[in-house]
Amino acid sequence: MNKEQHLLTDTFGRQHNYLRISLTERCNLRCTYCMPEEGIALSPKSHIMSFDEVYSIAKIFVDHGVTKIRLTGGEPMVRKDIPVILKQLASLPVELSLSTNGINIDRFIDTLKANDIHNINVSLDSLDAEKFHQITRRNYFEKVYNNILLLATNGFKVKINTVLIKNFNDNEIVDFIELTKNIPVTIRFIEFMPFDGNKWDLKRMISYQEIMNTVYRVFSQNRVHRLLDAPNDTSKNYKIEGYKGSFAVISSVTSPFCGSCNRLRLTANGQLKNCLFSASESDLLTALRKGENIEPVIQKAVQGKLGIRGGMDTLEKLKTPRLHTKNRSMTTIGG
């Protein structure tokens, strides 16, 4: 086994070539499933990675086999030095992509193009302005929707991430799919997942099966085409015959895809998380600032990765609050 495979390969043989980097804990929305109603205690600015530190850590991962980096938040576009970060990371031999709430995206279209960033994920949980306000606690629906159209017309590959919650936006499943009729975007329905402070309840979750049942009640089965999923894909992908776009389901709760996981997460304050659901973290930033070699820390974190959802390998464990409330709120992990 060569050095690249060894450092980022866990005890289950999973090779991690995808790094998600959170650039900030701050966000200009307050989504209920992401951030506790009372807000969060933000890390002091001095504890957040600088753009040079982001690059230095990212380069080490790339040197050991990471081929894809996605920038997340909080909301990454609120960082004042985002153009510098994009330019630095674009110099690495990786596919660079971005997750955003879409509010500020129009200001950075040219910057994204200049740095060869074409894959953009945008969070949008309702096509109704009032519901959008309820879930985000802000009035930015028109701005986000128009920026999605702007991205699509400028040739970006756009995925819209939609967290479904029972008796709130589950009646919009077909409306979202209809959006793909004339716009080349991918709608990704996400099962509601538990994080600290988001009042998760399995009864509020819309499952993969429930989503597809809704689809087949409206669209005949021969019009719903199952697409070939990409390697290590987190989503099950579909397309309505004749539609420009597609839709998918991310079934982290009812049908996890942990066996093919190739992802690691770096938080804005420099902590490496080997799993979205794991409460354990490994401090890379302190070691980096001390001038220490962070490779052993990375290797130990990767080797400590559990088989399924940070050890919550059953729905019963997932429903146990003490197991998932030890984790961060989603806004400080990075989407």
Check: CB of residue 293 under 8 Å from CB of residue 159. Answer: no
- Residues contacting 158, CB < 8 A, separation 6+: 120, 121, 122, 148, 151, 152, 184, 185, 186
Handedness of CA 48, 50, 52, 58 (dihedral sign): positive
For the cut 80, the answer to whether the pLDDT of residue 37 exceeds it is no
Helices (H), the chain: 3-7, 51-63, 82-90, 109-114, 129-136, 141-153, 173-179, 208-218, 285-289, 295-303, 315-318, 321-324, 330-333
Provide the pLDDT for residue 56. Answer: 98
The three-point CA angle 157-80-141 to 5° equals 50
Ramachandran quadrant class, 200 (left: phi over 0; alpha: psi -120 to 50; beta: rest): beta
Could you give the CA distance from residue 164 to residue 208 in angstroms, rounded to a whole number?
10
Domain ranges for the chain, please list them.
3-328
For the cut 80, the answer to whether the pLDDT of residue 198 exceeds it is no
Residue 92: closest CA among 9, 7, 19: 19
First to last CA, the chain: 32
pLDDT digits (tens, 9 = 90+) for 216-241: 999 999 999 999 998 899 899 999 99
Average model confidence (pLDDT) across the chain: 89
pLDDT digits (tens, 9 = 90+) for 307-324: 886 666 666 666 665 555
For the cut 80, the answer to whether the pLDDT of residue 327 exceeds it is no
Q: Are strands 246-250 and 236-240 parallel, antiparallel or unpaired?
A: antiparallel
Most confident of 4-8, 93-97, 253-257: 93-97
Could you give the CA distance from residue 20 to residue 314 in angstroms, rounded to a whole number?
25
Tokens standing for residue 19 = 């790094």
Could you give the CA distance from residue 257 to residue 236 in angstroms, rounded to a whole number?
10
Provide the pLDDT for residue 1. Answer: 40
pLDDT digits (tens, 9 = 90+) for 290-302: 999 999 999 999 9
pLDDT digits (tens, 9 = 90+) for 160-173: 999 999 999 999 99
pTM beyond 0.85: the answer is yes
Check: CB of residue 331 under 8 Å from CB of residue 37. Answer: no
For the cut 60, the answer to whether the pLDDT of residue 5 exceeds it is no
The CATH architecture that domain 3-328 belongs to is Alpha-Beta Barrel (3.20)
